[in-house]
Structure 1
């Protein structure tokens, strides 16, 4: 009897143990879903080591947010092929970006991607500070961008970096302030103000509290941010020349001659007017005020349409009472085109991931996300054609019209970086009250000396 009971207990014990073992195996499998899907593409990608791409760019929260959202979508494409990729951002002020790129490349710094201004692309290509990307884009992919953007991102016919967006600066204004002053800015590009006509509006909207010499509201801020550079301020001197003249061209056909182009009598006259806006008419501050237009401290501002995105972020979609008119001019109306481009550093250790991200970011899908955050004129033709705000008669249509009718590239030279640094110094000295003619002549000679090394670059 005991023998039979013991045999029964033995069998029961074995069953319990075996059942426990199976239960343990099943619990382990259920607790590790990744093991169940080990054969799926997503799980195979997840097993790849994480790659962090380092991106050097200007300090701008809207851009960072755009890149993060683009990254989220990038990780989903091709069945999650790039889901192991992340991005680390290094940001610097606008004026520090260009020398930072060069010094980082020269020092062999660990950097994968850069944000580069359109005119600087030829400079970086000349110095091999960027990897040529032409063979990684098909002809069809290149056609997705505006021709101006493709040219700006190329050197000697070779693409070095696709565009993030396009640009053209016009004169935005605060409708409440212009209405209060009884001013009606022109509503069509063809009826844009001359500089003399615009000055009257800037004077009328400059408001000084009783007993104070310092305005509470300035009439004008010419240019974005607090920086002085060629993009908007170079328009002054070029606008005072007839189309095709040395003043209008801004630089010789060789791309390295500035004497006789930057310092013509017409250029000096225009920059004298620029100084007078600060010191004689006092319609714009000598010391730049951050977010002067956004905080309602200026009635007018010369800027691309990315200002709209900033106003929407601060006040809510469509809540700020902005309007836009053509950019004022002396003899020939113009706006400078060109904007930011992607570039890949020769120091990258993750080229495949970097070029894949750049291709997606500059595609119509990536550009749509970028536009959502920045709200600036797209370089992608298909996207531009689908946005209702750029349709004829819509709120931002004038930016497309201006880019096509009066838009001109900034001066084309591999020495653009050196020139811009010189011109910024000259402009700041002029604002400070220095002799305009002396500054322009010295600046032209200095710029020409610095870029002489590029002789024969074409």
Structure 2
């Protein structure tokens, strides 16, 4: 019931493409000439993409229309499973191959790829006005060290989901799904605990009162300190000391720990099980992505509603909701950077953005968000668009995101399993100081 990952390549294709790439490079080195066009004079732009959900049907239609408008330009795409894509990018760009012109980039990897020289800065191809067409969180997440590397192709947003049948059974009024009605965390947790006691008094049904869908992943847990006004990392992207040991972070992590200590949230549930548990009637409240709506409809589950993500009392104006999805960049080794940048502009800012509507993703552009806010009703996408424009906080922009996420996810797991908050934070700071050092030396 999760967002489905589609694979468009068979085992071995990656190896074959690498051999082809190596062969192409060798022939160039031997001849001393750079081959950038086919014999007919046409240019082919090759795209390395994650193949999530219905992208495999939406992308080809969008590319076909682009080719009609740009005679002589051909666009080819290869879809990979998400983990395969990460591996393929390291192989292709780590070897400086020109096999692909465009790569799809999971947003927290932008800074790392830029730092390693994989991505070409796009400031020469995008004007300031064009860069400002993306929502602020998306533009900032695609920027590293003052340079714009990766425009956002879509976005994500989180909402508060709840089991309407359970709330009615416990005698609570169903929360409003309006833009001007935001509950506090304190209200939500009070309702969650009381409802849990009514619908599962002896705990035999295994009903959780409140869960984060990605229960111990940075993408979602960072919402707690972010919603207390605390950043996730230092301004330079390479420091957490004085950041995650702040009073706000300690308070947020104690809230997180207490969820499991009190049994309002259940231990032992994995990040990949939570969404299914909600659809199985095992959760009263859950913070999760907009895909929950489609998953519920597909599963035939109708006892649910949704509202804006909650705020902490005393931090009403500091709500920080998880956001970010896929960006795209031009390979530093592309033979066609101008054409690749033009295609990226088409499908992230131009007519090509229609694919976002087709697959039901949250837009990454201000125009796309504004269209939903002005034309839509108070449905899932309208609330998501509002959060994307007003409360979205991207994951840390750092070249060391892999190390950051690994250390933080371990800390979250430890804390939810009962480890003391402050010592867990200090251990994480020590670990990340070591990880960050190598980046500061470069």
Q: TM-score range by the shorter chain?
A: 0.7 to 0.9
Which residue of the partner structure matches residue 370 of structure 1?
Answer: 356
Report matched runs for 1:210-289 at 5 Å.
213=203, 215-224=205-214, 228-240=216-228, 243=229, 248-288=230-270, 289=273
1:61 equivalent to 2:53? Answer: yes
Distance (Å, rounded) in 2 between the aligned partners of 1:308 and 1:201? 22
Measured after TM superposition, the shift of residue 367 of structure 1 is: 2.0
What runs of 5+ residues in structure 2 fail to find an aligned partner? 1-37
Contact 1:112 1:347 in 2 (8 A): yes
Measured after TM superposition, the shift of residue 89 of structure 1 is: 0.7
Distance 1:365-1:296 versus aligned 2 partners, 3 A rule? farther
Which residue of the partner structure matches residue 291 of structure 1?
Answer: 275
Residue 414 of structure 2, aligned match among 429, 433, 444: 429
3-state SS, counterpart of residue 123 of structure 1: helix
1:300 equivalent to 2:282? Answer: no
Distance (Å, rounded) in 2 between the aligned partners of 1:366 and 1:214? 51
What runs of 5+ residues in structure 1 fail to find an aligned partner? 1-44
Contact 1:302 1:327 in 2 (8 A): no
Distance (Å, rounded) in 2 between the aligned partners of 1:88 and 1:142? 27
Measured after TM superposition, the shift of residue 352 of structure 1 is: 5.9
3-state SS, counterpart of residue 76 of structure 1: helix
Distance (Å, rounded) in 1 between the aligned partners of 2:227 and 2:418? 22
Which residue of the partner structure matches residue 447 of structure 1?
Answer: 432
Contact 1:75 1:85 in 2 (8 A): yes
CA RMSD of aligned residues (A): 3.8
Which stretch shifts more, 48-57 or 189-198? 48-57
Distance (Å, rounded) in 2 between the aligned partners of 1:218 and 1:72? 47
3-state SS, counterpart of residue 424 of structure 1: helix
Distance 1:276-1:98 versus aligned 2 partners, 3 A rule? farther
Report matched runs for 1:87-98 at 5 Å.
87-93=77-83
Measured after TM superposition, the shift of residue 124 of structure 1 is: 1.9
Which stretch shifts more, 102-111 or 418-427? 102-111
Which residue of the partner structure matches residue 342 of structure 1?
Answer: 328
Distance (Å, rounded) in 1 between the aligned partners of 2:372 and 2:263? 40
3-state SS, counterpart of residue 119 of structure 2: coil
Measured after TM superposition, the shift of residue 274 of structure 1 is: 1.6
Contact 1:114 1:344 in 2 (8 A): yes
Deviations along 1:78-102, one digit per CA (max 9) or x if unpaired, are 35x44x4331111224xx8667644
Higher gyration radius (CA): 1
Residue 116 of structure 1, aligned match among 105, 110, 132: 105
Report matched runs for 1:73-222 at 5 Å.
73-79=65-71, 81-82=72-73, 84-93=74-83, 101-102=89-90, 104-108=92-96, 110-183=99-172, 184-185=174-175, 187=177, 192-206=182-196, 213=203, 215-222=205-212
Which stretch shifts more, 162-171 or 103-112? 103-112
Measured after TM superposition, the shift of residue 440 of structure 1 is: 1.5
Distance (Å, rounded) in 1 between the aligned partners of 2:409 and 2:323? 18
Distance 1:350-1:278 versus aligned 2 partners, 3 A rule? farther
Contact 1:217 1:297 in 2 (8 A): yes
Which residue of the partner structure matches residue 365 of structure 2?
Answer: 380
Which stretch shifts more, 201-210 or 141-150? 201-210
Distance 1:258-1:60 versus aligned 2 partners, 3 A rule? same
Report matched runs for 1:351-430 at 5 Å.
351=337, 354-376=340-362, 378-387=363-372, 391=376, 396-430=381-415
Contact 1:238 1:249 in 2 (8 A): yes
Tell me how many residue pairs correspond in the alignment.
397
